[in-house]
Amino acid sequence: MTGGHPGHLASEAGRALALVNLRDAETAARQRLDPVYYDYFAGGAQDEVTVAANEAAYRRRSLLPRVLRGCGPPRLETTLLGQATSMPVLMAPTAFHRLAWPEAEVATARAAAAADVVMIAAMLSTVTVEEIAATGAALWFQLYIQPDLAFTESLVRRAEAAGCRALVVTVDSPALGRNERGDRNDFHDLPPGVFCANMGGAGHVRQVVLSPEISWSHVDWLRGITTLPILLKGVLHPADARLAVEHGVDGLVVSNHGGRQLDTTPASLDRLEPVAEAVAGRVPLLLDGGVRRGTDVAKALALGAAAVAIGRPVLWGLAIAGEPGVRRVLDLLRTELANALTLLGVAAPGDLTREQVVS
């Protein structure tokens, strides 16, 4: 073999190609990131019990392949709430991409567009939703409903005008989770030049309000002001899933916010079946938290998710190499998922069945 291992290349493309899996991406990102920002991205609430539980839940379950089905190469294309995507994997909304890479969410969105996956753009992005949309990526918009409903409505109108195709309302955040890494690092403010671009205007940047006053009446209000599909992100209890359907919600993201809100909540994967039973197929379910392997995606789909979302791995790819880094993360997961489905003996994600996951 001639030439160096791609890891020896200094270029962004070389660094991206050197990644063999999503776990490598965290290791490589950690080497490049300011330790304070690494801690912000990697960390969770308090003892990080839930952060660990999310990944452990995938390890606890086994996959049961079928043989001799002659399926041919699997087809990964999926449609979610009318949105076509190249695979059942979305980018979860994550705040503050400029802490990872100068082009921030624009680089992330370019990777989403190149990979033909949906990016759920965070309300707390460091470039505006209009700039993110200008990349041509398929976007959904994540919203923290603000007590100032006029301001919240203005954000919804901007997301609609920018072409976002769904609203993802985060409901697990009536307060901020207690991130002790941030306390130790004294990381409580964004550095100069980094700000919540969607919250700006009239010369000042609004503080986000994570309000314990937000209730189902706000969901009803939102339902009344927009025709976009509404998903609630952060539902773990079957009773809440039922209420969501009754309130006209179009989809749910089963999520514990990557273990960053209430610590010691169960692994999101462990809540998928109870929530699926409660909604009984009336709305599609997404799942996030701890998805790091194609086999993880397969397990989530077999247990009832229409798709999964990944949070931190996107940030790791971004921190390593910007757009090519994020593309690499998505390519690796796509290749792993295709390989897993082939080995499972299924032709498409929708052909996975419940009994192919055993405990």
Task: Specify the residue for token string 């949070």.
Answer: 311
State the binding partner of 287 from ligand COI, ligand FMN, none, CB within 5 to 8 A by kind.
none
Q: Give residue 341's identity as a one-letter amino acid code.
A: L
188 is catalytic: no
Given 171, 267, 279, 291, the residue binding ligand FMN (CB under 6 A): 291
State the binding partner of 312 from ligand FMN, ligand COI, none, CB within 5 to 8 A by kind.
ligand FMN
Residue 260 touching ligand COI (CB under 6 A): yes
* Ramachandran angles phi, psi of 108, nearest 5°: -60, -45
**Do 105 and 125 form a contact (C-beta atoms < 8 A)?**
yes
Closer residue to ligand COI (CB): 257 or 328: 257
Residue 317 touching ligand FMN (CB under 6 A): no
State the binding partner of 244 from ligand FMN, ligand COI, none, CB within 5 to 8 A by kind.
none
Crossing angle between the packed helical segments 312-321 and 104-115, to the nearest 10 degrees: 110
Angle, CA 136 vertex, CA 134 and CA 142 arms, to 5°: 80
Q: Pick the stretch among 70-78, 79-87, 187-195, 252-260 that binds ligand FMN (CB under 6 A).
A: 252-260
Given 95, 121, 214, 306, the residue binding ligand COI (CB under 6 A): 95
Closer residue to ligand FMN (CB): 169 or 346: 169
* Ramachandran angles phi, psi of 151, nearest 5°: -70, -45
Residue 288 touching ligand FMN (CB under 6 A): yes
Given 108, 146, 152, 255, the residue binding ligand FMN (CB under 6 A): 255
**Do 168 and 145 form a contact (C-beta atoms < 8 A)?**
no
Q: Is the dihedral of CA 319, 78, 288, 130 positive or negative?
A: positive
State the binding partner of 92 from ligand COI, ligand FMN, none, CB within 5 to 8 A by kind.
ligand FMN
Q: How far is CA 73 from the centre of its chain?
A: 27
Residue 257 touching ligand FMN (CB under 6 A): yes
Shortest Å, Cβ 93 to ligand COI? 8
Residue nearest ligand FMN, Cβ-based: 311
Residue 170 touching ligand FMN (CB under 6 A): yes
Q: Give residue 194's identity as a one-letter amino acid code.
A: V
* Alpha-helical runs (H) found in the chain: 12-17, 22-32, 35-42, 49-60, 104-115, 129-133, 149-162, 180-185, 216-225, 238-246, 268-279, 294-302, 312-321, 323-344
Residues near ligand FMN, by CB under 6 A? 40-41, 54, 92-95, 122, 124, 142, 170, 233, 255, 257-258, 260, 288-291, 310-312
Query: Catalytic residue numbers?
Result: 257
